[in-house]
Amino acid sequence: MKVRITILCENLIGQATGSGEHGFSAFIETDGGNFLLDTGAGRTVVENSLVLKKDLRTLKKIFISHGHNDHTGGLPQVLNLTGPADVHVHPDIFVDRLAIRKEKGGESRRFAGMIYKRSYLEILGARFILNSDFYEVEKGIFLTGEVPRKTAFEKGDPKLFRAIQGKIVPDTLPDDQSLVLDTDKGLVLIFGCAHSGMINIINHVVQRTKKDHFYAILGGTHLDFLTPEQLEESIRCLKGMKIDRIGVSHCTGFRGASRLQQEFGDRFFYGWVGSSLES
């Protein structure tokens, strides 16, 4: 399968193309049709699709990596253009979530879950298809479903919580899933935020596909929100893997991206708005 992946929503713009926002979305063109992974936070997905000439009306399916609002906030705008569409998600995307940041003399709380509720999105045409296991959603295109947390050093983001029946508890983000494309040049793996841990996700994909050559890994890796030890351990593991290109975005952040660039040189690129990869 041949694919072209274009970053539609991302924190940064690399050229004078489109707008940035804290969020992520990737437009995926394949021999078997066009797909979207995530929708950004909602302010840039349509504008950037127009500027980058990626027609959202052509989408065959929409995939959602997890329920955070910076990945799901653009769903109404996308559905407005697609009309009724299949939206593949883990059932936990609909829970209420928040980010709690400890600050001097107190804490700040920010709602981090889906702004638009399931029933509203269904009125707009979303046909939610729930999955929590690894499965082939289209020929050569896989969703990882829940990823087993196996590495000792990938501990997750301690700022993230969910609200269950009025109780606020730590959020392990079981809904975090990534997209895998089996392409002519090797596997291409796209993370939303990699809340399950980038290395856990890669290992899970190797185990499930029985393939270990990645032409590229792309997307948000969440490295900027984690400890320096986790960043260094992740880099150490990546160096032992067969990955030709590393094109990170979004929650990788400046520190994570600059360390990856230092280690992987020309194999590294930053996946800002408008950057694309063919495989």
Q: Which parts of this chain interact with Fe ion (CB under 5 A)?
A: 68, 70, 193, 251
Q: How far is the CB of 140 from Fe ion (least distance, A)?
A: 26
Helix (H) or strand (E) holding 71: helix 69-72
Residue 248 · residue 168 · CB < 8 Å: no
Cβ atoms within 10 Å, residue 48? 27
Say if CB 26 and CB 5 are below 8 A apart.
yes
Which lies closer to Fe ion via its Cβ, residue 45 or residue 193? 193
Specify the residue, 186 or 256, whose C-beta has the smaller distance to Fe ion. Answer: 256
Nearer of residues 87 and 279 to Fe ion, judged by Cβ: 87
Give the C-alpha distances (Å, rounded to integers) separating 80 from 15, 22, 156, 167.
28, 22, 34, 34
Q: Which is nearer to Fe ion, 96 or 244 (CB)?
A: 96
> Closest approach of Cβ 13 to Fe ion, in Å?
17
Residue with smallest beta-carbon separation from Fe ion: 193
The vertex-41 CA angle with 40 and 46, nearest 5°, equals 60
Name the minimum Å distance from CB 5 to Fe ion.
17
CB of 183 to Fe ion, least distance (A): 25
| Element (DSSP H or E) covering residue 97 | strand 96-103
In the complex, the smallest distance separating the C-beta of residue 112 from Fe ion, rounded to whole angstroms, is 8
CA distance 265 to 253: 17
CB-wise, 8 or 215, nearer to Fe ion?
Answer: 8
